């Protein structure tokens, strides 16, 4: 993934889930690692 796109996606995840930037890594699981519930996941999509 280009770094520009990856950076934008990362910023959206940080904003919507309220997580720390260090938690958002390419292999993070939305539910298990970032604490997102099913509604959070749907909203991100």
Is 4 a catalytic site residue? Answer: no
Number of domains, the chain: 1
Angle at 39 between CA 9 and CA 25, to 5 degrees: 30
15, 20, 27, 37: which one is catalytic?
A: 37
Give residue 33's domain range: 3-44
pLDDT tens digits, one per residue of 1-45: 688 999 999 999 999 999 999 999 999 999 999 999 999 999 998
Q: Which residues contact 43 (CB under 8 A, 6 or more apart)?
A: 16
pLDDT one-digit tens code per residue, 20-30: 999 999 999 99
Residue 22's domain is classified under what CATH number? 1.10.1200.10
C-alpha 30/C-alpha 44 separation (Å) is: 10
What pLDDT sits at residue 1? 60
pLDDT (0 to 100) of residue 3: 83
């Amino acid at each position: 993934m280009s770094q520009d796109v990856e950076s934008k996606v990362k910023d959206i995840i940080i904003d919507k889930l309220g997580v720390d930037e260090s938690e958002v890594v390419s292999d993070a699981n939305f539910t298990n690692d970032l604490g997102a519930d099913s509604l959070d996941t749907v909203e991100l999509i």
